[in-house]
């Protein structure tokens, strides 16, 4: 996920609600012939999560899980996109418990009751697939289970809000509504992003409602939806390592992410898990 940037950058003026996309950053519109490559990249990212799922258990270290993901990605002819991205030193992001995102693999053995977000981005033949799931380590309590289920439902609600010709803000509206009705909060300082030949590109996909940062969704747009949901306040803090983002209040956080593409008729999920 990317840090929120200023959407409208001409003299700090904000667009009117009625404004079109005049001052929004330009969003790449991909061609139908670009979809097959995104399908391949997305499928590999999803397969990496499916591969690692049974290895997420008590005693495993996130460093070992990261190494297993990197081998799998390379064995399939791809490259882990995070490695070297703005200096990030690992192949994947591994974010336990109160870590919201951009957690770095380490040597602490996972313990029963931990939540672990694993975020995989592959670059295959120059195209990116990006997805994340929250895993439960051993038995988890009912509150953690609820947090996970609400977050996965929030991703589904965000995807269901995508409509060619519709508005980007419909996504944030749907996600925020679902999360807050359930009594949790949605992170505002990080968001989903356009993706394709670049790992991160416009548009920014907010998971809360902000009609000042809106645009019309069009066929050929590729982006991620990746709500981060906190059991507590939505505020985050970045640690001194320059990467790790944690909840400001120490509450637990969950995340699910898919990469999607807009067609004339609707939305295609590129990172859908599939039967082998």
Contacts with Co ion by CB under 5 A: the residue count is: 5
CB of 14 to Co ion, least distance (A): 26
224 contributes a contact to Co ion by CB under 5 A: yes
Q: Which does 155 bind (CB under 5 to 8 A by kind): ligand MF3, Co ion, none?
A: none
Cβ of residue 129: shortest distance to ligand MF3, in angstroms? 10
Burial (Cβ within 10 Å: 0-12, 13-18, ≥19) of residue 87: exposed
Q: Which is nearer to ligand MF3, 1 or 162 (CB)?
A: 1
Provide the binding-site residues for ligand MF3, judged by CB under 6 A.
1-2, 82, 85-86, 88, 93, 102, 119, 121, 130, 193, 224, 226, 257
Please state, in angstroms and rounded to a whole number, the distance separating the CA atoms of residues 4 and 202.
11
CA 117/CA 100 separation, integer angstroms:
8
Beta carbon of residue 91, minimum distance to ligand MF3 (angstroms, whole number): 9
| Contacted by 88, from ligand MF3, Co ion, none: CB < 5 to 8 Å by type | ligand MF3
Tokens of 235: 């505020």
Which residues are CB-neighbours of 232 under 8 A, at least 6 positions away?
Answer: 185, 247, 249, 250, 251, 252
| Residue of the chain from 98, 114, 130, 214 that contacts Co ion (CB under 5 A) | 130
Binds 128, which of Co ion, ligand MF3, none (CB < 5 to 8 A, cut-off by type)? Answer: none
Residue 82 contact among ligand MF3, Co ion, none, beta carbon within 5 to 8 Å by kind: ligand MF3
Cα dihedral sign, 31-36-37-41: positive
Pairwise CA distance, residues 50 & 228, whole Å: 20
The nearer residue to ligand MF3, 119 or 214, going by C-beta atoms, is 119
* In the complex, minimum distance from the CB of residue 238 to Co ion, in angstroms, rounded to a whole number: 17
For 9-56, list the strands marked E by DSSP: none
**Cα atoms found within 13 Å of the Cα of residue 269, Cβ hemisphere only:** 15
Binding site partner of 66, from ligand MF3, Co ion, none, Cβ cut-off 5-8 A by kind: none
The neighbouring-strand residues paired with 246 are 99, 237
Q: Which two tokens stand for residue 58?
A: 């008590």
Q: What whole-number distance in Å separates Cα of residue 43 and Cα of residue 261?
A: 13
Sole binder of Co ion in the list 119, 123, 214, 231 (CB under 5 A): 119
Q: Are 256 and 49 in contact (CB under 8 A)?
A: no
Q: What residue is closest to ligand MF3 based on CB?
A: 82
**What, of ligand MF3, Co ion, none, does residue 102 touch, CB below 5 to 8 Å by kind?**
ligand MF3
* Distance, C-alpha 160 to centroid of its chain: 16
Closest separation between CB of residue 41 and Co ion, Å?
A: 13
In whole angstroms, the minimum distance from the beta carbon of 183 to Co ion comes to: 26
Site residues for Co ion per CB under 5 A: 119, 130, 132, 224, 257
């Amino acid at each position: 996920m990317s840090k929120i940037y200023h959407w409208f950058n001409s003299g700090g003026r904000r667009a009117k609600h009625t404004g079109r996309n005049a001052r929004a950053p330009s969003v790449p519109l991909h061609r139908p012939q670009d979809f097959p490559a995104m399908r391949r990249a997305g499928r590999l990212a999803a397969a990496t999560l499916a591969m690692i799922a049974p290895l997420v258990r008590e005693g495993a270290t996130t460093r070992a899980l990261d190494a297993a993901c990197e081998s799998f990605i390379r064995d399939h002819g791809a490259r882990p996109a995070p490695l070297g991205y703005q200096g990030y030193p690992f192949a994947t992001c591994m974010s336990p418990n109160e870590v919201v995102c951009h957690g770095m693999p380490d040597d602490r053995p996972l313990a029963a009751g931990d939540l672990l977000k694993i975020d995989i981005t592959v670059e295959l033949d120059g195209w990116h697939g990006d997805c994340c799931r929250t895993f439960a380590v051993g038995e988890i309590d009912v509150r953690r289970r609820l947090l996970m289920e609400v977050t996965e439902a929030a991703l589904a609600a965000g995807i269901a809000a995508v409509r060619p010709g519709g508005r980007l803000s419909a996504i944030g509206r749907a996600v925020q509504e679902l999360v807050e009705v359930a009594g949790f909060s949605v992170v505002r300082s990080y968001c989903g992003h356009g993706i394709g030949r670049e790992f991160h590109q416009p548009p920014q996909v907010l998971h809360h409602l902000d009609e000042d940062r809106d645009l019309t969704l069009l066929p050929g747009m590729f982006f991620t939806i990746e709500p981060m949901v906190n059991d507590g306040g939505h505020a985050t803090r970045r640690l001194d390592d320059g990467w790790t983002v944690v909840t400001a209040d120490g509450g637990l956080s969950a995340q699910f992410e898919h990469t999607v593409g807009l067609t004339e008729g609707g939305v295609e999920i590129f990172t859908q898990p599939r039967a082998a």
